[in-house]
Structure 1
Amino acid sequence: MRALLVVLVAVANFGAQAQWLTIKTDNFNVHYPRSLQHWAYSAANELEIVREKVLAQQGRALDERADVVIYDPHNAANGFALPSTDKPMMALLATPPQSDSFIANNTSWQQLLILHEYIHLVHLSQSSRSLWRQQLRDWHDITDLLDAVLPRWVSEGYATLLESRLTGRGRLYDNYSESVVRYYAQQGALPTYGALNNGDKSYLSNSMAYLVGVRFLAWLEDNYGAQTLDAVWTRVQALESRNFETAFRGAFGKSANQLYRRFVVEYSYQAMQQELALPPTASQLWQTFSFDARDIVFSPDRRRFLVVEQDHNRRVTLGIYEAKDNDEAAEQFNMRNQAILAADPEDVPDIKPEVFPKKRLAQFNSHNFGGIYHPQWLNDKHIYFVAKTPTSEHTFVNDLFLWQSDTGVLKQLTRGTGIRRFSIIDANTIIAEVSRQGYSQLMKIALDSGELTPITTAKLGDVYDFPVLVESNSTLAYLRVSPNKRWQLVVEDLTGNLIDIVYLPKQHQYLTALHWSGDEHKLYFISGLEGHMKVMRYDLSSRKLETLPKNAKPLKQVLVHSQKVFVSYAAPDGVKLAQIVSPRWQVVRVSEPVDNAERKAQHKHQLPPAKIDQTAHEAVAYSASEQSYSIALSGALHSAAFDSVGVALKGQDVLRQLSWQLGIEKSINNGALLGGFAQLEYLQHNWKTTLDAGYQDLAPDKQSNAILGKGNEARFKQFALTSSYRFGDILNNVTPEFGVIRIQQGDTVWNGSRYGANGNLVWDAQQHGTALHVSASQWLGELNGFDYQVNLFAKAWHIPFYASVDSRYSNSLPISLGGGQLTSTSVSNGLNAISEPMLPYLFATGSRYLGYEFATSWQQGRPKLFYKQHQVDSSVIGQSYGIKMQSSLSKTVLGRAANFAPAGLTDLYFSAGIGRVEGHNMANENRVWLGVWYEL
């Protein structure tokens, strides 16, 4: 016990080092780590400005203070919100977006992000005017969320609408976003109403909830009035119960589906008219990709090219392709057609495709969920690229890697740097945009020493992108943007420190994809004008700016290869790469330099210009005492034992530093179970301390199936206090732990302690991978035993395989087998009780247990086919096989938002299955189970 107290003191002392801080404004609690202090100061000011303007525009505000969590978990731009009538919460991710993003058109990343997420909360967190429904929402977080949720296209589309209306920027007025939607309309590929929420697996369809949703809602406002659309939100929370579809039909007189079809027709007609008005641009298809393709780079010898590809399952690969035509594929096509005609001379064979896919020479799969970004050729065999690496802070950060394509060797070159796009000076030196803690900066990085030399000044709100060098390394071009400005093209002479800003015409918006033509010393890039994309170039020697005509296609990238101009563009069936035939360049005259971005619409409640106001706020140490509370309901159906229900009161703070639950569980009808439990968990950085106390009164003979032993009643009590510390990162780690335990069964009491460790090793290459989890502990004192579990996962060609071993022994404490997953079971006798939902509770008891399980599925996260065998005291008790599934419902439904959700939405688990049990001492029969429960 003394050792445990020493550990707890260490936890308290470490808390000061890993401290989160809180700023309390009039309406928000802003939580942030100390490293993001300046970002948080500015956000605290912006939050109150946004709230004031939204209140004026909407006539609505939140009934409760909102929790705002500022952090940077993936070194990427994003954010999310969780609506709630009593605990609304939003998360702001500090890393700014890059120039080719749909969200690059903003007054500032911070202002757009705060506005978008706050609109979610105001839109979805309104209280119901039905008193009893609202009281239920107040006490039950799941009901609160279900009543708040609207179709995804509605919630995201409306937040995107107001992000645009109230700033004059945003995705409604973004040229790249408009170009994508127009082109899809011209191809007849706008999503159906049914696919508007989550897409139809075509390329970019998952983004259409934002891009098309906002345009449909804007069309509704333009044709029916903003008040009519606003009435839908009022009707949804009326005294009379209505879902979105009913509320919409009542306000508009027609269903959303009907009006959406009309919108699609009108928008598509206008898109076709705009396409006809464009001058023709002759192009020849050069390569097709089945889904996403980005970061295309030709090799130094111009005979190959790199490309990062991603399929609709988000599997990412880096491929090397031949740049020449695929004559082998063409020959095979012709031979196949000849064979068809030889067998059936009257048949009509396939016509020749516009282009045969280029031959793939090598492929590298993303490793350990890190993705692949911005590859560059160092030479013909060595390739640098960026991937995300895990940290000990439960986060990922961008780092540089080297892939040797001929041997497959992979080497990490930086650690914790935050690199995004970069250019190579030599094998040891790069120039990169580094983004950490919300700051963006151009840096020269020495890869051997890790030394970072600033090229630009880091200033909150300023963002840099696309640093590209000419072949001689004498000139650097890059993009930059500041709050309320538009993206600027900067050309810097590194030999004389001369900086030239290349201004574009005033009407242009969207600027990305810089590319030097080595043989011409011309800088190519993509710009946007009037909802279309344009290829432009800047001549370094003559300082002449030229452009090609507007293109109907949503261009992603421009490349120059052997005097030929190539563009990649988004299409519904995947990204395509085409060569522009006989490009007609026109000189562009810029009459006046323009820095400020144009606001497309003037709204009477428009936000003031974005301001990075870092005025210091009074901040206090984050307190876990501000808790959310919820009723937590659980239940289980077990054909082998009994059905049960449970109710608990559950609470936690928004950062989940202090979580707890107190509840009871009872069997239905037969009186086989009465249990109670209390759990408390304190988490600070990588320290975790848990307190479990449980009681369970079981009547084994009242279960649906008999047990092997004798006895009509079994009472269990357990008290356990455990502390652990995790070393390592989120993927590969080891966690030593120590605890004291008191167990009582009937009138017999065992006092003891437990020490051990658990660890994880993960290697994942998407198509193949392995993972190992090992847990082992020694039981001391009157417990006098041990336990260990080994779980092995492997996948081959995406097919998963699972194997596990569970072994436990005690020469004094009885070890029991059987029963489903109940919170009262795991808390009251989880140390010595092995859960098996296909057997009744206390089915078999002994001093030693050994169990094996093997399982597989057709895909990770899907139901498993399993086989399991149990041994007690060296005798095979039985075996079971069937199909089952178990998952964390909280993480499956909420994703990373589950880390900050209200108490009733976290720690929720689900298990279900059907199978057959067989054994010498039992009836061979089919059994089923279903369980939903909470467990910290």
Structure 2
Amino acid sequence: MHYTKGHQAWAQAAAQELEIVRDIVLVQQNRSLPSVADVVVFDPYHGANGFALPSTDNPLMALFTTPPQSDTVISNHHSWLQLLILHEYVHLVHLSQPTRHRFRQLIRDISDIYDLTSAMMPRWVAEGYATLLESKITGRGRLFDNYSEAIIREFARQGALPTYAQLNGGDNRYLSDSMAYLLGARFLAWLESTYSEQKLDAVWTRMQAVKKRDFEDAFQGIFNLSAAVLYQRFTAEYTYQTMQVAAKRAPLNDTLWTTTKFSVHSPALSPDKRLLAVIERDAQGRSHLNVYSTSDNAEAKKKFVARQKQLLEIDPNDIADTVPEVFPKERLFSLPARGQRGVRYPHWQGNDTLLFVSSVRDTAHPMVFSGALFSWSLSTGKVTQLTENARIRRFTLSQRAQKIYAEQVQFGYSQLVEITLGTNHVKAITHRELGTVYDHPVLNRSDDKLAYLRVKANSNWQLVVRDLVDGSETLIPMPQGYQYLAQPQWDMVDRSITFVAGRAGLLDIYRYDFELQTLYKLTDGQYVFTYPLYLSKARLLFLAKTAQGTQLRVFNIGNTPEVNAISRFTPMPRASSTGVLLPKAERHHTPLPSQPYDIWRQSTSLAVGGQYHSIGRSLLHVGITGSDLLDLLSWQVGVTQDLAGDALSGRFADLRYVGQYANWHAKVFDTRFSAPFRSQHHGKHSQRRRGIFLQAGTSYQAEHWRLDTHLAGQLGDERTDVERDDLRWSRFALSHRWFEDRQSVAFGSHMSWHWLQGKSGEQSWQGYDLSARLFGRVDTFPWYISGKYQQRHNVFMALGGLESPIADNNSHVNTLFIPELSMAGLRGSQYQQFGGGVTWRANRPWLYYHQHHLDRQLIGHSYGLRLSTKIEKGSWLGKFAPAGVSNLRVDMGLSRLSGASISDENSVWLGIWYDLR
């Protein structure tokens, strides 16, 4: 177990729960992990999540400690800690089984890349099976979740269940990423009930056989039909059963209130009811806080009528468009979220100001983000941050006292707090303990009663009303057999409270009357109801999830039936009948031994790479790479050989250490290469270069910008066909990066300055490098414009060639590796490059153009397609991937080079290698 500061209690409880989960899964699956797993406990972005990296010798799971909120598909559990551990551990056991083919397993043991890729399955299979077992072994989970079931039924009712090809998700359909979990688990459960658990289990056994099989081959051999064919049967049955249930439900007397484009949530009405604030998300995941008028859009109707009139005037025999059910409300204001920080939970402060929560960087931990409170003035457009390190999620505002009551989540603990605006004074309202979570606080209009949701270990979510004067609490009765509970809302006179609850696979809106002490059911499962909101005393606005996105609809509250079967307590019935069940969640208080993180606990892997260049180079890199779990200390040693000749060969050793205050990089290399120098010599020029390179740097990360600086130096020698020179140089570097992401558009800049001095033999030299890059994105299209200037005095720079593990621009400061040019094809003392590029999506090849100047003369142009990417610490995979996967770099390009000083030529290059820079 590895945990960040503050998470020791959560990690200790997780460690004890892991052993219980391991024993239960071993009984249920008759499988266990072939190796000890590393488990990382942390809270990077204040959200409920986790992931697993399967491997036969380096399995890893990451556990995010922030618990899920009440209105999510992962809120149905005995405890978040237990559900998360079970789901991720099943991933490891399911995907990390060794193959029974000895040679393939030997390769898996020595190569992390082969090991990780061999463990991959279709996403719906991996996530669906972990979701299935999470539910079977706990009796809770997404398979038995009313909210999840209501969503899938709504898709089925509309004939919109994804096809087999769409089941893995990842496209722009609404909720497509969730289907691998929700529908994948239901399909696998259908296979077990229609055939048997043993038949499905046999698929996993066949996938690790001596005979190599992928999932489709293994599945077909057991079921005699493809998974796609059986999935069609499953969806047909599921749709039929759903339609039968839907036919028994009376329609709701509701109307469409406004149209939406994709996803809407968290509606909030202004105090005067004239404005509605909502969070809207488009199909690309971009979020905006939008404010609409609640009045009918007369202008939109007028324009529609005018268009139809013009249409018929042009062609009297044409048929006009059908009048829309409703015209979209007028959008008055819009605030885009900044990048992926989000904008959440809008709340009105008067009729001109909105408060909301967005993620900000923790001042003490630059890689950690958490929720902070902001205000947005509609009249001025000014956005102001109101809290620091508050780590809050949903909140409610006391207009009179200028206080907010919010759920605060820190180190896995959830509690309600009172925060005084202006002073940022924080006062705890509830105590905190692992397993107890609070959500959705909402004040009544008198500011004397606070309603909120609470869940304790092994119980359902409860709706609690707390008297802020005497501190007493009242539990609101729920319908018998309920499981899902979300989004409480006071009525306009504080007489009743409305909420959404789920039972029997359906969601409904309920209202509890405090004076009559009676629970009423306002709907009958007609929609996937979310966020009920009072437009007036008798009109209720709600959000309905559909296969196309979210609708805003409204209905009049009439005579509603009283709910007689109610539950004032929340026992935890298990939905699963399986014989292997996890025990209920426990409070684990037994202290366990701990020690500081050990960077010397290293894992190693075979590191094989290769590079090809059409100009005449085929490099093979073979070595060993290693790192600790967090990649703080990483290293590689290896050899490089040119398979097409003697253009480049040598040996190298690389070492990198990421410290708390400084980063270190050391490199030892012995390189031999020969290449033509077109402007000075005929034939080839042989060279051997040996050296020791050392760099130490530090950085400062702020909200939108980063400052880096480093000192570097090298000692070595260089031998040519005719002489030997000692080489040494030193470098001071400073760089600045700024980036602002407004989702639909983004802008950034990166500027760096290097000052160098050195000595080659008896000749001293100096130089400097300047570079500037403007970059950004318009919609989904990234772009950049760049410029570079490099100057040397008393020494030449060699231009051209591919970077490689033994020779790169960082440690070879007088060799400028430019893949469009052949290795050391040109020499000069001054180099300039200008250019730009564009691509259609992030991590796709760039269409680029570069202009090259040498010694104040334009020598050529290069243009084409190129891509350079690296699995690095900025990504989740790079942060925790095993040594043989992290730091893996891919370079490829297709280029045309032309100019007056160089011959025209086309070049293609491809490289896959390890880069520790």
* TM-score range normalised by the length of the shorter chain: over 0.9
For residues 372-420 of structure 1, what are the alpha-carbon distances to aligned partners after superposition, in whole Å with 9 as ceiling and x for unaligned?
Answer: 1101111222111111112343121111111112222111111221110
- Which secondary structure state, in structure 2, belongs to the residue aligned with residue 588 of structure 1? coil
Q: Which residue of 1 aligns with 2:465?
A: 491
- Out of 753, 758, 761, the position equivalent to 1:776 is 753
Q: Which residue of 2 aligns with 1:12?
A: none
* 1:408–1:592 distance in 2 versus 1, CA, 3 Å: closer
Structure 1 distance, partners of 2:417, 2:78, is 25
AA in 1 matched with 2:387:
T
Q: Which residue of 2 aligns with 1:423?
A: 396
Report the Cα offset of residue 781 of structure 1.
4.9
* 1:69–1:729 distance in 2 versus 1, CA, 3 Å: farther
1:201 aligns with 2:181: no
- Out of 908, 912, 917, the position equivalent to 1:932 is 912
Report the Cα offset of residue 890 of structure 1.
6.2
Structure 2 distance, partners of 1:437, 1:552, is 40
Matches within 5 A, 1:46-65: 46-65=17-36
Contact 1:165 1:606 in 2 (8 A): yes
AA in 2 matched with 1:865:
L
Contact 1:199 1:207 in 2 (8 A): no
- Which secondary structure state, in structure 1, belongs to the residue aligned with residue 548 of structure 2? coil
Report the Cα offset of residue 544 of structure 1.
2.5
Q: Which moved more, 1:662-671 or 1:381-390?
A: 662-671
Q: Which residue of 1 aligns with 2:822?
A: 840
Q: Which residue of 2 aligns with 1:4?
A: none
Report the Cα offset of residue 799 of structure 1.
4.0
Q: Which runs of 4+ in 1 moved over 6 A?
A: none
Report the Cα offset of residue 594 of structure 1.
1.8
- Out of 138, 148, 161, the position equivalent to 2:109 is 138
Give the structure, 1 or 2, with the largest relative contact order (CA under 8 Å, sep 6 or more).
1
AA in 2 matched with 1:407:
T
1:758 aligns with 2:735: yes
Q: Which moved more, 1:135-144 or 1:266-275?
A: 135-144
Report the Cα offset of residue 654 of structure 1.
1.1
Q: Which residue of 2 aligns with 1:714?
A: 687
Contact 1:732 1:762 in 2 (8 A): yes
Matches within 5 A, 1:177-216: 177-216=148-187
Structure 2 distance, partners of 1:428, 1:924, is 71
* 1:540–1:592 distance in 2 versus 1, CA, 3 Å: closer
For residues 779-837 of structure 1, what are the alpha-carbon distances to aligned partners after superposition, in whole Å with 9 as ceiling and x for unaligned?
Answer: 24536332232222133455433122223333244322111232221178432222211
Matches within 5 A, 1:429-468: 429-468=403-442
TM-score with structure 2 length normalisation?
0.95
Report the Cα offset of residue 428 of structure 1.
4.0
Structure 2 distance, partners of 1:818, 1:600, is 66
1:325 aligns with 2:307: no
For residues 707-755 of structure 1, what are the alpha-carbon distances to aligned partners after superposition, in whole Å with 9 as ceiling and x for unaligned?
Answer: 6655521222332111222222474221222233224332222223322
Contact 1:804 1:852 in 2 (8 A): yes
Q: Which moved more, 1:214-223 or 1:922-931?
A: 922-931
Structure 2 distance, partners of 1:463, 1:536, is 22
- Which secondary structure state, in structure 1, belongs to the residue aligned with residue 517 of structure 2? coil
- Out of 292, 296, 321, the position equivalent to 2:267 is 296
Structure 2 distance, partners of 1:731, 1:642, is 41
- Which secondary structure state, in structure 1, belongs to the residue aligned with residue 9 of structure 2? helix
Report the Cα offset of residue 507 of structure 1.
0.1
Structure 2 distance, partners of 1:829, 1:527, is 63
Contact 1:640 1:837 in 2 (8 A): no
Q: Which residue of 1 aligns with 2:787?
A: 805
For residues 224-276 of structure 1, what are the alpha-carbon distances to aligned partners after superposition, in whole Å with 9 as ceiling and x for unaligned?
Answer: 11011000000000011111001001111211011100000100000001111
Q: Which residue of 2 aligns with 1:857?
A: 839
Structure 2 distance, partners of 1:595, 1:512, is 15
Q: Which residue of 1 aligns with 2:670?
A: 695
Q: Which residue of 2 aligns with 1:557?
A: 531
Contact 2:614 2:907 in 1 (8 A): yes
- Out of 868, 876, 901, the position equivalent to 2:858 is 876
Q: Which moved more, 1:248-257 or 1:720-729?
A: 720-729
Percent of aligned pairs sharing the same letter: 39
Q: Which residue of 1 aligns with 2:504?
A: 530
Contact 1:871 1:878 in 2 (8 A): yes
Contact 1:740 1:753 in 2 (8 A): yes
- Out of 399, 408, 426, the position equivalent to 2:372 is 399
Contact 2:871 2:878 in 1 (8 A): no
Matches within 5 A, 1:99-498: 99-391=70-362, 392-426=365-399, 428-498=402-472
Structure 2 distance, partners of 1:428, 1:640, is 70
Q: Which residue of 1 aligns with 2:564?
A: 589
Structure 1 vs Structure 2 CA RMSD: 1.9
Contact 1:282 1:582 in 2 (8 A): no
Report the Cα offset of residue 216 of structure 1.
0.3
Structure 1 distance, partners of 2:718, 2:526, is 76
Structure 2 distance, partners of 1:797, 1:82, is 32
* 1:857–1:31 distance in 2 versus 1, CA, 3 Å: same
* 1:127–1:708 distance in 2 versus 1, CA, 3 Å: farther
* 1:551–1:488 distance in 2 versus 1, CA, 3 Å: same
Report the Cα offset of residue 304 of structure 1.
1.4
Report the Cα offset of residue 891 of structure 1.
7.8
AA in 1 matched with 2:440:
F
* 1:808–1:84 distance in 2 versus 1, CA, 3 Å: same
Structure 1 distance, partners of 2:685, 2:307, is 75
Report the Cα offset of residue 212 of structure 1.
0.4
1:915 aligns with 2:895: yes
Contact 1:489 1:501 in 2 (8 A): yes
- Which secondary structure state, in structure 1, belongs to the residue aligned with residue 663 of structure 2? strand
Contact 1:743 1:829 in 2 (8 A): no
Contact 2:877 2:886 in 1 (8 A): no
- Which secondary structure state, in structure 1, belongs to the residue aligned with residue 806 of structure 2? helix
Structure 1 distance, partners of 2:871, 2:758, is 38
Q: Which residue of 2 aligns with 1:3?
A: none
Contact 1:470 1:521 in 2 (8 A): no
Structure 2 distance, partners of 1:101, 1:460, is 19
* 1:260–1:167 distance in 2 versus 1, CA, 3 Å: same
- Out of 501, 516, 523, the position equivalent to 2:490 is 516
Structure 1 distance, partners of 2:67, 2:118, is 32
AA in 2 matched with 1:519:
V
Contact 1:63 1:86 in 2 (8 A): yes
Structure 1 distance, partners of 2:805, 2:294, is 60
Q: Which residue of 1 aligns with 2:762?
A: none
Structure 1 distance, partners of 2:77, 2:679, is 66
Structure 1 distance, partners of 2:282, 2:138, is 34
Q: How many residues align structurally? A: 902
Contact 2:745 2:779 in 1 (8 A): yes
Contact 2:809 2:817 in 1 (8 A): no
- Which secondary structure state, in structure 1, belongs to the residue aligned with residue 390 of structure 2? coil
Specify every segment of 5 or more residues in structure 2 that has no aligned partner in the other structure, as ranges: 760-764
Structure 1 distance, partners of 2:553, 2:648, is 69
Q: Which residue of 2 aligns with 1:8?
A: none
Structure 1 distance, partners of 2:863, 2:567, is 76
- Out of 817, 820, 828, the position equivalent to 2:799 is 817
Matches within 5 A, 1:600-611: 600-611=575-586
- Which secondary structure state, in structure 2, belongs to the residue aligned with residue 47 of structure 1? helix
For residues 257-302 of structure 1, what are the alpha-carbon distances to aligned partners after superposition, in whole Å with 9 as ceiling and x for unaligned?
Answer: 1110000010000000111122332211112222111111111221
AA in 2 matched with 1:349:
A
Q: Which moved more, 1:517-526 or 1:406-415?
A: 517-526
- Out of 655, 660, 663, the position equivalent to 1:680 is 655
Report the Cα offset of residue 210 of structure 1.
0.4
